[in-house]
Chains A and B, each alone.
Chain A
Amino acid sequence: MAKPSPKDRKYTKEHEWTKSDGGNTVTMGITDHAQELLTDVVYVELPAVGRKVKQMQPIAVVESVKSVSDIFAPVSGEVMEVNQALEATPELINKDAFGEGWIAKIKMDDPSELDGLMTAEVYEEHIKANPH
């Protein structure tokens, strides 16, 4: 069973989370439900620092033993930092999707985009309705 989605962040339908770092910067990653669907993560293709991303466009690629999945930018902005630890230990996403398995930090172009994302409660309803 997936770990509960923390209430201190916002979620996308595609199972990404964002958490405010203060100011206009957010940390993003994928949810515990997403890592369960993916199975064991064995490779992560991270974006270059400085890359400009648009909301819901691919920002990273996560490969598991079973499948490959695009990870989407939950907000538009510039990639400020990526989680380098994932290059050597991609399994951090399985172990701690909401913490040590974070993927990138993004400086937002338009913080109002966050208003369009789901709260933890709405996201939990979303995955109950769409378990796969």
Chain B
Amino acid sequence: MKKTSLYERHLALGATMTEFGGWAMPVQYSGVIDEHRNTRTLAGLFDVCHMGEIEVRGPQALELLQWVMSRNLAKQQIGEMKLSAITNPKGGIIDDVTVYKKGDDHYMVVTNASTREGDLEWILKAKGEKGFSKADVTDLSEATGKIDIQGPIAQKILSEIVEGDLAALRFYHAIDTRVAGIPALVSRSGYTGEDGFEVYTTAARIGEIWDLLLSIGDSHGIKPAGLGARDTLRLEAGMMLFGHEMCQTVTPYEVVYGWVTDLEKDFIGREALKKQKEQGVRKKLIGFELIDRGIARHGYPVWAAGEKIGEVTSGTFSPTLGKAIGLAFVPVAFKEPGTALEIEIRNQRVKASVVPLPFYKRKK
């Protein structure tokens, strides 16, 4: 298993470790629910060094990204980040990524942990096929360290050690700055449904920022948070996870990524997606909550009107709402909020209802 540069720190903090995407990662420190609540009310600090960073540079960088990404990046400004899907020729999702524009002809693509190598191969293959010789693609993942600080007081804590005005940094925008004197990229973004920031620097120095945020944030109530809380937080916020909601046979229109798909430009998968959009999707990702007791899990069958109609992609007990929630694929006829469903849990069907997404939205 691969270890992030923060591995020894997790052990020292008493974390329970687990394997995720080939990495030894912390599941929890003080407890999933405690870390979850702390992130919703104060701040949580997450090790996300396992994610991938691929740099795309050169005069044809944008052309290559436009060919590979479902999102239209033509109008992206320096300092903006964009969520996008990478799709195969059938429109299936290879990964969901964020694209940072760091300068003219200079981009950074941030991938999921398990998809990083596949994404890199895919982008290089696309580059070769299209002959974009003036686009340089470099995997910076090993050399890059990344942590997320998330929660209502994230700005207050990070401001103490960041150069520049974080209050002026808008959502899904990034600045090249210094954190604790170390050159870093900071964006206002995250995967929890709270305000917060993603901080990138070198793998060698990310630990210094981690330590400082925990020590100066301590009196404010910051706590390290593991992958357990990361998963319950993202699910409450209705955010998808690659390998659960998304895979190579699921298209952006079947999940909630229609808005990151622009059929007006040409990209790999466009023809198939155009056809699907014209014909309409058959299945759709929905949110549900359980009415009966129990917890739905990935892979559990979904029933309605006496028939098996779909499958759960993610499910948990929501610490904020105090009930069991989940995401599932169902035929479009069953997608409207209020629709009665049943989830099969250990050979028993329990009552559930389709609800609007997200399950949780922070007060602004």
Q: Which residues of A contact B (CB under 8 A)?
A: 1, 36-37, 39-40, 42-43, 45, 61, 63-68, 94, 131-132
Contacts and interface: CB of A to CB of B under 8 A. Distances in A.
B317 A65 contact: yes
A31 to B, nearest CB: 13
B27 A39 contact: yes
Contact of A37 (B16, B36, B319): B16
B113 to A, nearest CB: 17
Interface in B24-39: 27-28, 31-33, 36
A65 B232 contact: yes
Nearest to A33: B16
5 contacts: A63-B317, A64-B32, A66-B27, A94-B31, A131-B17
Contacts of A131: 17
Contacts of B232: 65
Contact of B295 (A36, A43, A94): A43
Contact of B316 (A45, A65, A94): A65
Interface in B261-283: none
B33 A61 contact: no
B293 interface: yes
Nearest to A66: B228
A131 B17 CA distance: 9
B16 A42 contact: no
Q: How large is the interface on B (under 10, 10 to 19, 20 to 34, 35 or more residues)?
A: 20 to 34
B36 to A, nearest CB: 8
A65 B236 CA distance: 12
A64 B232 CA distance: 11
Nearest to A131: B17
Nearest to B16: A36
A43 B32 contact: no
B319 A43 contact: no
B328 to A, nearest CB: 16
Nearest to B318: A65
B28 A68 contact: no
Nearest to A67: B297
B359 to A, nearest CB: 14
A43 B345 CA distance: 13
A40 B33 contact: yes
Which of A45, A65, A68 gathers most chain B CB within 10 Å?
A65
A65 B228 contact: yes
A66 B295 contact: no
A40 B228 CA distance: 9
Nearest to A61: B346
B295 A63 contact: yes
Contacts of A61: 346
B32 A132 contact: no
Given A1-B14, A65-B232, A39 B28 contact: yes
B294 interface: yes
Contact of A132 (B18, B28, B293): B18
A66 B294 contact: no
Sorted from nearest, which 9 A-B pairs have the closest CB atoms?
Answer: A42-B317, A39-B32, A40-B33, A65-B32, A63-B295, A40-B32, A36-B16, A39-B228, A66-B228
Contacts of A63: 294-295, 317
B26 to A, nearest CB: 11
A61 B45 CA distance: 32
Contacts of A42: 33, 295, 317
